[in-house]
Amino acid sequence: MSEAGLVVVTGADGFIGRALVAHFAGAGRPFRAVVRQHPGAPGPGPGSCAVSDLATMPDAELDRLVTGASAIVHLAGRAHVLNETAGDSSAAYASANVVATARFARAAVRAGVQRFVFASTVKVNGEASAPGRSFRPGDPPNPCDEYARSKQVAEQELAAICNGTAMAPIVLRLPLVYGPGVKGNFAALLDEVARGRRLPLGAIRNRRSVLYVGNLVEAIDAALDVPAPPSGTHFVADANSIAVPDLVTALGDALGVPARLIGVPVWLLELGGRLSGRRALVQRLVGTLEVDASSFMTATGWRPRRPLDEGLAATTAWWRLRHAI
């Protein structure tokens, strides 16, 4: 099947993927949604293609997935795992994030695809930026865990595969993405605020870049539509960064419950993180991590239209429906 402007979306059943294909459907953009078929799971919905494993499936099946496409948005991969259960996590990240990306990119080149948008992570640059100095695309990478290292290698593989071909590699390094369906640490924080738990975060003085999924899907639109493809690496983020205590307060306002913040000194939080084996989590809460999205805005004309309060309102409305509140 071939259709003008067809976009193949991998990971279409994930948090970002669901938002993106819903956005494409509403805008009338033709797409092919690629989802992972799990044993015992129901079949894919209309317009979806269920696959086994992009890292191991035959080339002929990969070629069928990309036939007729003008662009790829590659969201599939192994995300940062909070509670690791894989026996060999390094191999698991390499397979899902490096091998699968490289094989899909090669199939896209064979099919004559013009653009390949790859969802990467700010963690390729590190876990913290210097106060007042946001990460920029040209900064040296500093991945600190297996997830970030696998994403960096996947970026390198994509660039090498596209080199000398007609396919433009567009790497978007994303900060924390939030919105309806969010998972991970943001969902856990939302649960804590909604339940009126006391949170020892009131003394933190940092800045964190975040990204509402509604802004992200419009950024992907821009990467696909701008006449000159924005090849290379870019950051995408909401217009303003925010301190963690302010984010907690804003979540409380959106939920209509008071945020209960306690001003525990940062040094004490860090000590508790080391003693409890949760040092990395605490560092993400107390550290500054800002990105500079100006290169992407210059290349595409995209601007993050939706402010934090709009994104949090949509996120908390989803949370209420999920919890029947």
Beta bridge pairs of residue 48: 33
Q: What is the pLDDT of residue 281?
A: 83
Average pLDDT over residues 171-185: 95
43 pLDDT band, cuts 50/70/90, is very low
Q: What's the pLDDT tens digit per position in 283-305?
A: 888 999 999 999 999 999 999 99
Beta bridge pairs of residue 35: 50
Q: What is the pLDDT of residue 168?
A: 97
Distance CA 55, CA 79 (A): 15
Q: Say which residues have a Cβ less than 8 Å from residue 306's Cβ, sequence separation at least 6.
A: 212, 214, 215, 238
Q: What is the pLDDT of residue 299?
A: 97
Q: What is the pLDDT of residue 3?
A: 55
Helix (H) or strand (E) holding 117: strand 115-121
pLDDT exceeds 60 at position 1: no
Distance CA 84, CA 192 (A): 22
Q: What is the pLDDT of residue 79?
A: 84
Phi, psi torsion values for 243, nearest 5 degrees: -80, 150
Helix (H) or strand (E) holding 8: strand 7-10
pLDDT exceeds 60 at position 82: no
Q: What is the pLDDT of residue 260?
A: 93
* Range of weakest confidence among 85-99, 211-225, 247-261: 85-99
Show me where the domains of the chain are located.
7-181+209-238+289-306
Average pLDDT over residues 155-176: 97
67 pLDDT band, cuts 50/70/90, is very high
Token digits for 142? 């500093």
Average pLDDT over residues 189-214: 94
**Candidate ranges 127-131, 215-219, 258-262; pick with highest mean pLDDT:** 215-219
Average pLDDT over residues 149-166: 97
pLDDT exceeds 50 at position 157: yes
Q: What is the pTM of this model?
A: 0.92
Phi, psi torsion values for 194, nearest 5 degrees: -60, -30
Average pLDDT over residues 210-226: 97
> Between β-strands 7-10 and 198-199, what pairing exists: parallel, antiparallel or unpaired?
unpaired
pLDDT exceeds 90 at position 10: yes
SS3 142: coil
Token digits for 268? 């004490």
User: Architecture of 7-181+209-238+289-306 per CATH?
Assistant: 3-Layer(aba) Sandwich (3.40)
* Range of weakest confidence among 30-39, 117-126, 250-259: 30-39
Average pLDDT over residues 161-167: 96
pLDDT exceeds 80 at position 47: no
Mean pLDDT of the chain: 91
Q: What is the pLDDT of residue 42?
A: 45
pLDDT exceeds 90 at position 24: yes
pLDDT exceeds 90 at position 73: yes
pLDDT exceeds 60 at position 44: no
